[in-house]
Structure 1
Amino acid sequence: MFKADYIFARILLPLIVGIGVFYFFPTENLIVTLSIISAAIFLLLFVINFTYKILNAYKFKGISGFLFFTFFFSFGGLLCLLNNEKLKADYFAKKDYKLLKIWVNDEPEQTNDILRFKARVISGYLNNNQLKQSGQILLALKVDSLNPIHLEYGDELIVSAKYLDVEPPYNPAEFDFKQWLANQNVFEQAFINQNHILKTNRNIGNPILKFALKLREAQVNKYRKLIKNDEAFAVASTLILGYRADLSKETLAAYSKTGTIHALSVSGSHVAIIFFVLDFMLIFLDRKRGTKILKFILIFSLIWIYALITGLSPSVVRSAIMIGIFITAKTFARNKNGYNTLAFAAFCQLIYNPFLIWDVGFQLSYISVFGLIYLQPKIYKWIYIKNKWLNKVWELIAISLAAQIVTFPLCIYYFHQFPIYFLLGNLFISLPLMVIMILGIIVLIPFADKLSTIFEWIIVSTNQILKWIADLPYSTLSSIWINLPELLLLSLSLGLFIYALTNYNKKLIYASILLYIFYASLIVYDDWVATKQQKIIFFTLRKNYAAAFISGRETILLTDLNANDKNFHFFVKPALEQAQISKINFINLNRDTLINHFIKKDNQIVFKGYRILLIDEFLNYKNLNIEGKFSSLWLTGNIRFMLENLNRHIEFKSLIIDATNKDYKIASFKTFAENNSIPQHVLKKNPAYLVQLTQ
């Protein structure tokens, strides 16, 4: 029914489609339905294959192919639903437990006095009964600065916590932390103090993973002793060991702007470097069948030893599995089809964890490897170079081009930027990265620490050159926002164009150009809309206020945040970038301002005909001598002003209540609005308030 060469490549597509579709329909009833469908189709296919010659089933290949597609589609959906923690009968959040017994199932991260970690629930305590439960929870623990608690992977704890659903994004273009956690099967979170937690002095984590994390910690400590430069230490720990070190903003920006940020994430490229180095060093073992198997055992073992050193981080494990399957096929398979091997690696990992299809690292890893298999040889053949060393340089360029081209649409969609000098950056980083990887592992070996000086110098020099490249004019196209339909159009156009070029198919080239014109038209339309936009965004924040008065590509941002504040970067800036704002005028409520169509004076704001009366702390215990009609009243600064005492000559259509007001004040304002049938918009734990203005 399927060509044996491509069987996993063919069944992977319906499996992914099934997982993707049923992820959005998480209901228990569908589990039963999909189980019956999968079982019935499997039995039918078994009967067809068992009686293939008797029934002359070859005449019905189309029907058999459809059944295969349907089986893996439903099987993928079934896998997705069975892996959804919320659909399990004993999911802990279905009941309100006052106490939970949990264990720490990842490495805790501390920021200031807050310790964050994911934990797996063992049981819940209800009416003095301990009930076995399942599920995961994200905990934010406020640590006692005088007597801080020490937690590590596997620690068993009893916590007193009120768990809540993870909050969704409230502002336009804000990072969807709720969805990001849901893709990891985490749906609840809790914020607790250290005195609400009890360690049972038991560690029940996976002993292999615990050993790996301890091993990595020892290697990080060794780096700390050997490397004097803090930035070099941070790069070495992140790049080689996958340890989340504190990299400076300048270094992160340099790697990001040069398109080499992948070098700082221990992933497929790092494992591939180790594989190629080992494959080259052990090439003398390729002569006989027996020594070839010995070579396979050595490389396979050393790759997993490296994975252990990195703490068995998910990205490294994923890459080790992928490379492991590749070298197994290379050693033992007669027909070494790269696409089928790649599909088999993805198939195995999705069977284990179907939610991986939403992992950005998983998507980029497999797409980039596909690009290397399919596109790199074709790019390499464009130019024939006799010189051995120049040929190696061209080979590196072909690799960089192939990986960058196939991942280009996804990188723009997820990261909203494109590095102009990616070729220069990747060409430069290729050799240093290889040397850094090899030296970084060697210096961890006893009696090899004398090489640490050279190791440190190479890292420092590499960082300096990347910073120089990043500072070149027009190094990055940033603030590029495309939506899902535009991503699909761009990807389809690019895919068709590449396939048409490699197969000399003019019709497909024309089709790809038409798709690209359609995509470009949407982009031009988005740009036109951006130049004509007139709107106000009142942002939802935790303790601050921010409102963007947008006209075309310029905005007046009325806020108590500054351009360097992390709250501005996380909650406000993404919305302004998505709106294609090129100029931001920061002002605050303490100063009167007149800019273009924006006027703020005497507690009044006027913008494009939209009038706001500002009720702040300066009006506490005062009588308002203002009359007129207002679009909104903006309540800010936890005011003591009594809304009941508003002048009868003041008319307004809605209340805007920002996060600078305390909860009890917000509650009283809401009561006032409800009693007087006035629309109210609370900018705290509610969606941002968007006002579209007529031109």
Structure 2
Amino acid sequence: MATIFKERSWWQFTLTRVTIALVLGILLGKYIPIPQWLLLLSLSASTAVWIVTDQFSTLAYFNKRWIGGLSILVVFTGVGIGVYQLATKTIIQIKARVILQESPIKKPNSYQATAAMGETLLLIYFHPTTNIYSLNAGTTIQLHKKPLPIANTSNPGGFNFKEYAASQKIHHQIYLTPTDFTIIQSSKSPASLLSKSKQYVLSVLEKNIRIPRERSVAEALLIGYKKNLDKELMNAYSNTGVIHIIAISGLHLGMIYALLRWLFKPMNRFKKLHWLKRALILLIIWGFTMLTGAGASVLRAAVMFSFLLLSEQQNRPNYIINTLSASAFCLLLYRPLFLWDIGFQLSYAAVIGIVLFAKPIEKWLYIKNKILRHCWQLCSVTFAAQLLTLPLLLYYFNSFPNLFLFTNFIAVPISGFILYLLIGLLVIAPISFIAKPVGAITEWLIVQLNNFIQNSASLPFALTEFIQVSLAQTICLYVCIVGCAVWIAQKNNRAFWLGCSGIILFVAIRSMSLIQLKQQQKLIVYHAPKYTSIDILEGLGHRYIGDHQLEQNTLLKNNYLSPTRTIYRAGNPLLQTRVYLRAPFVIGPNKKVLLVHPRLSFPILNMVPEIDLIILAGGVQIPFAEIAKRYPQAKLIFDSSNPLWKIQLWKKEADRLHLRHHSVPEQGAFEYNL
């Protein structure tokens, strides 16, 4: 690492400093409300200072040039604040007439599409009986019912769909039956080139790769089309640390870029055609980027390769840190909300890790054998990328794939070969007698890759779960990594103590959290559609009471239960708790909870002196009037196994009797201290 910047230090690159200032401005714009008049005043003042110092900088006796540099950073900090305010300044209007932005997509129980509604988007779910063939991108429809705001019904620590939807400018949703809307104007515009290209790719894969599961992996690997992916297979890829293979990323674009450089290599002989070669590579790269949906990580790679080709065209030196900063600067100017995109963060963390640490790690071992040396280079790149992405992975996903080095070593080369085969398949698709065997070989390779990933994921030590890392701890991990890296590279004692302080603070925060959570005793009613799902959290463990189908289904468990158990550090299953369970009651030290379920007998209320909480599950009817009379302070909880129409009736009855209530399907999970 000490020799990486021997020519210029990272802070000497102007774009690096400017990008940091832009990021700081975006963060200030999100977390600190800054009036526009103050922003304009500071921008005007700093710009004036910049111009004045630039004029004086030509004078030999002027030694305050740092003022000009500081004013530039202030200007771009203000630009960051401004672009964030513009990106989040949206007028939310509910309109009856909307325009579909895409053709409806098949979902398990409906068809889904987005539609333009003023400056925002509307999320539409169409009833399965809807004639979707008359609904295409550009179709205008008249709504006969009012859209509803998207509510946050997530579980503690779970995915916040409301926040995610808002970042996509979606604030309302609606469910439409065929009688709930009228088509005002059908779309007459021809399908776009991108749409036609995507349909061509999908049709070629459908024709030449027969097994649906393997075809879905090919679709994801080639163009990022994930709508047909098997969720259990995706979970296996995630648990082994190779999800980036089927989530289009800079890795895929890098492979395609390398292929294009090789294909256009004969044009290097003709100097006058160099510009054409670079233009064609740029055109193909950006075409592929648009075809895959232009995700944050692919855009990062596309912008970086664009700057690389432009610098080659102008015969200018290319510094990877400068190129990386320039790409981040452009993307954040275009969409400042990318800063909170997980793909954006992981992509830049991985590339920075590779730039800083891949070569130093590679030098740890000197291997004479050429094949083994290439294998070690691949391992060093994987390890370097993981080094800076590790804190983010722990923070966002609360787990760590223990076999990431082994699985990446096998899966990345195979996936690269499959990608090249798929590209070749698209080219030779019209020649069926050649395309068929190529498709068969590709299918066989994908089968072997999937089997390898699933077998690796099934190992008992493949994944470490329930790792709860806060934002403060994530920052501490980065301080530790950077401090230790600088100490190893430069033998700087201050960096060593900085790294030590990071890990000590990390351990201190964890210890305080453990001490606090060891005292917890709470009941959580989860939002798990159509299921009764309740956890009793006690200390650092949990005792589950509810539908065992959900607990035994890995995907449902990871989606609904694991996030909450992780943030409360309650991943250990408990057979016995201090909270007393005597059906149909849960009796805590200070509270008594009544569970109402079809499989539990309903108690004789005049024999129960006190009830603090009543959980209704399975649509069972209860005597509301008697409950209001005997337990006026009790709170009613309607869980997710109840039909929504019945919950609405119960809520009206409870309001009439002045009983407090909470609807889990509408308000999210319910937490209760016992």
Same fold (TM over 0.5): yes
Deviations 1:559-591 (Å, cap 9, x if unpaired)? 246325676553433212333334547xxxxxx
1:635 Cα shift? Answer: 4.6
Which residue is equivalent to 1:128? none
1:87-126 to structure 2, matched below 5 A, reads: 91-93=91-93, 96-97=94-95, 99-104=96-101, 106=102, 108-121=104-117
Which residue is equivalent to 2:667? 686
For 1:326 and 1:116, locate their aligned partners in 2 and report how far apart those are by CA, in whole Å: 40
Question: Are 1:606 and 2:587 matched, yes or no?
Answer: yes
Task: Check conservation: 1:215, 1:311, Cα contact below 8 A.
Answer: no
For 1:531 and 1:643, locate their aligned partners in 2 and report how far apart those are by CA, in whole Å: 37
Return the letter of the residue paired with 1:48: T
Return the letter of the residue paired with 1:523: R
Task: Check conservation: 1:212, 1:310, Cα contact below 8 A.
Answer: no
For 2:254 and 2:188, locate their aligned partners in 1 and report how far apart those are by CA, in whole Å: 33
For 1:461 and 1:41, locate their aligned partners in 2 and report how far apart those are by CA, in whole Å: 60
Bigger Cα displacement from structure 2, 533-542 vs 505-514? 533-542
Bigger Cα displacement from structure 2, 14-23 vs 324-333? 324-333
For 2:529 and 2:289, locate their aligned partners in 1 and report how far apart those are by CA, in whole Å: 40
1:687 Cα shift? Answer: 5.1
Question: Are 1:188 and 2:177 matched, yes or no?
Answer: no
1:24-63 to structure 2, matched below 5 A, reads: 24=31, 30-53=35-58, 58-63=62-67
Q: RMSD across aligned C-alpha pairs, in angstroms?
A: 3.2
Question: Are 1:475 and 2:462 matched, yes or no?
Answer: yes
For 1:668 and 1:237, locate their aligned partners in 2 and report how far apart those are by CA, in whole Å: 51
For 1:400 and 1:43, locate their aligned partners in 2 and report how far apart those are by CA, in whole Å: 47
For 1:298 and 1:682, locate their aligned partners in 2 and report how far apart those are by CA, in whole Å: 57
Q: 1:415 aligns with which of 377, 392, 397?
A: 397
Which residue is equivalent to 2:623? 642
Distance 1:181 1:237, change over 3 A: same
Return the letter of the residue paired with 2:66: G
Task: Check conservation: 1:171, 1:540, Cα contact below 8 A.
Answer: yes
1:193-342 to structure 2, matched below 5 A, reads: 193-203=177-187, 210-283=192-265, 289-307=271-289, 309-310=291-292, 315-342=297-324
Distance 1:339 1:101, change over 3 A: same
Question: Are 1:452 and 2:439 matched, yes or no?
Answer: yes
Deviations 1:96-153 (Å, cap 9, x if unpaired)? 54x123231x5643212422233223xxxxxxxxxxx4222222222325x3445444
Which residue is equivalent to 2:648? 663
1:533 Cα shift? Answer: 2.8
1:312 Cα shift? Answer: 5.2
Distance 1:155 1:510, change over 3 A: same
Question: Are 1:144 and 2:121 matched, yes or no?
Answer: no
Distance 1:42 1:521, change over 3 A: same
Which residue is equivalent to 1:589? none
1:389 Cα shift? Answer: 1.9
1:487 Cα shift? Answer: 1.1
1:663 Cα shift? Answer: 0.9
Task: Check conservation: 1:432, 1:462, Cα contact below 8 A.
Answer: yes
Which residue is equivalent to 2:155? 171
Which residue is equivalent to 1:549? 536
For 2:52 and 2:270, locate their aligned partners in 1 and report how far apart those are by CA, in whole Å: 43
1:162 Cα shift? Answer: 1.7
Which structure has more strand as a fraction of its residues? 1
Q: 1:654 aligns with which of 634, 659, 665?
A: 634
Q: 1:629 aligns with which of 610, 614, 617?
A: 610
SS at match of 2:64: helix
Return the letter of the residue paired with 2:307: I
Task: Check conservation: 1:168, 1:178, Cα contact below 8 A.
Answer: yes
Return the letter of the residue paired with 1:607: G
Q: 1:387 aligns with which of 344, 361, 369?
A: 369
1:50-89 to structure 2, matched below 5 A, reads: 50-53=55-58, 58-86=62-90
Task: Check conservation: 1:213, 1:312, Cα contact below 8 A.
Answer: no
Q: 2:569 aligns with which of 580, 589, 607?
A: 580
Which residue is equivalent to 1:6? 13
SS at match of 2:63: helix
For 1:619 and 1:362, locate their aligned partners in 2 and report how far apart those are by CA, in whole Å: 49
1:457 Cα shift? Answer: 1.4
SS at match of 1:444: helix
SS at match of 1:443: helix
- The sequence identity of aligned pairs, in percent, is 23
Distance 1:542 1:251, change over 3 A: closer
For 1:478 and 1:620, locate their aligned partners in 2 and report how far apart those are by CA, in whole Å: 37
Distance 1:457 1:484, change over 3 A: same
Task: Check conservation: 1:5, 1:337, Cα contact below 8 A.
Answer: no
Task: Check conservation: 1:329, 1:336, Cα contact below 8 A.
Answer: yes
1:621 Cα shift? Answer: 11
Distance 1:525 1:453, change over 3 A: same
Task: Check conservation: 1:235, 1:264, Cα contact below 8 A.
Answer: yes
Bigger Cα displacement from structure 2, 614-623 vs 526-535? 614-623
Gaps of 5+ in 2: 1-8
1:395-406 to structure 2, matched below 5 A, reads: 395-406=377-388
Return the letter of the residue paired with 1:142: H
Bigger Cα displacement from structure 2, 320-329 vs 454-463? 320-329
Q: 2:348 aligns with which of 366, 371, 386?
A: 366
Number of aligned positions between the proteins:
654
Gaps of 5+ in 1: 122-132, 586-593
Task: Check conservation: 1:6, 1:340, Cα contact below 8 A.
Answer: yes
Distance 1:177 1:320, change over 3 A: same
Deviations 1:231-271 (Å, cap 9, x if unpaired)? 21111011112112423344223322221110001111000
Deviations 1:156-180 (Å, cap 9, x if unpaired)? 4443442333212453112111111
Which residue is equivalent to 2:417? 435
